């Protein structure tokens, strides 16, 4: 039995066999806390340059929130399933929880904080969310708006069905979908 402690029985998985994992009661925690040597990363966020020493495994979302201090992009699931962390990289919508910061070097990163004009004037999509009650608690809203801007720019807002399809990666636990779709349709109708 003592030896058994050093093996997992993954017999449910064809071909997986028996995999040594348990010596690992200690090694798992060692691996989790092991720090990779920091690397120097240059990021351009909302037009501002940031030079950071980062763990090469740092996600773009954690870097934005914890190192740069931009908390607009939200960590909903951290697994690419809710869209709360959506930002733009070179104008395309990206799930920042699934992106490494190092991958974004040399690219233009835009977060919800960079969407309004330099004079503070709201982006038409931000205004439309206000006008059409496109939010309740607001937790999903930055990701919804960033995704919505890209959805219109991609010409994927031609109908309510198309909007629903191309916004389906952005979940709203408050169920503000009717207002969100109306906001997007109104911006699309303006040709923005
Ligand atoms: Fe990135 Fe949910 S936090 S998709
Ligand atoms: Fe609350 Fe969308 S407004 S989760």
178 lines ligand 2 (CB under 6 A): no
More confident residue, 46 or 15: 46
Cα(73) to centroid of ligand 1, in Å? 9
pLDDT at residue 19, as a whole number:
37
- pTM of the predicted structure, to 2 decimals: 0.83
* 8 band by pLDDT with thresholds 50, 70 and 90: very low
Instruction: Please return the burial class of 156, using the count of CB atoms within 10 Å of its CB with bins 0-12, 13-18 and 19+.
Output: middle
Cα(78) to centroid of ligand 1, in Å? 5
Contacts 24+ apart (CB under 8 A), 111-118: 111/45, 111/46, 111/64, 111/70, 111/72, 111/73, 111/87, 111/142, 111/146, 112/72, 112/73, 112/87, 112/142, 112/145, 112/146, 113/46, 113/70, 113/72, 114/45, 114/46, 114/47, 115/145, 115/146, 115/149
* 31 band by pLDDT with thresholds 50, 70 and 90: low
Cα(9) to centroid of ligand 2, in Å? 42
pLDDT at residue 114, as a whole number:
98
pLDDT at residue 191, as a whole number:
78
Residue from 62, 64, 77, 99 whose mutation best tests the ligand 1 pocket (most atoms within 8 A of CB): 77
Measured CA to CA, the distance from residue 83 to residue 8 in angstroms comes to 35
pLDDT in tens, 133-162: 999 999 999 999 999 999 999 999 999 999
137 lines ligand 2 (CB under 6 A): yes
Contact status, residue 22 vs residue 36, Cβ threshold 8 Å: no
Residues within a 6 A CB radius of ligand 1 = 75-78, 80-85, 95, 97
Measured CA to CA, the distance from residue 162 to residue 181 in angstroms comes to 10
Summary mean pLDDT of the chain: 87
Measured CA to CA, the distance from residue 135 to residue 143 in angstroms comes to 11
Domains of the chain: residue spans and CATH: 39-114 (3.10.20.30), 124-189 (1.10.150.120)
129 lines ligand 2 (CB under 6 A): no
């Amino acid at each position: 039995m003592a030896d058994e402690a050093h093996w997992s029985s993954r017999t449910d998985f064809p071909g997986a066999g028996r995999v040594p994992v348990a010596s690992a009661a200690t090694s798992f925690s060692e691996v989790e806390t092991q720090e990779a040597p920091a690397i120097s990363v240059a990021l351009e966020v909302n037009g501002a340059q940031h030079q950071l020493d980062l763990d090469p495994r740092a996600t773009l979302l954690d870097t934005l929130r914890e190192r740069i201090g931009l908390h607009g992009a939200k960590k909903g699931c951290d697994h690419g399933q809710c869209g709360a962390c959506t930002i733009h990289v070179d104008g395309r919508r990206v799930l920042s929880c699934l992106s490494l910061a190092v991958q974004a070097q040399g690219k233009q990163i835009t977060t919800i904080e960079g969407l309004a004009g330099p004079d503070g004037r709201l982006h038409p999509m931000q205004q439309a969310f206000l006008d059409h009650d496109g939010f309740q608690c607001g937790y999903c809203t930055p990701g919804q708006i960033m995704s919505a801007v890209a959805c219109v720019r991609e010409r994927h807002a031609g109908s309510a069905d198309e909007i629903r399809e191309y916004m389906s990666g952005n979940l709203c636990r408050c169920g503000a979908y009717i207002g969100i779709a109306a906001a997007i349709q109104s911006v699309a109708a303006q040709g923005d």
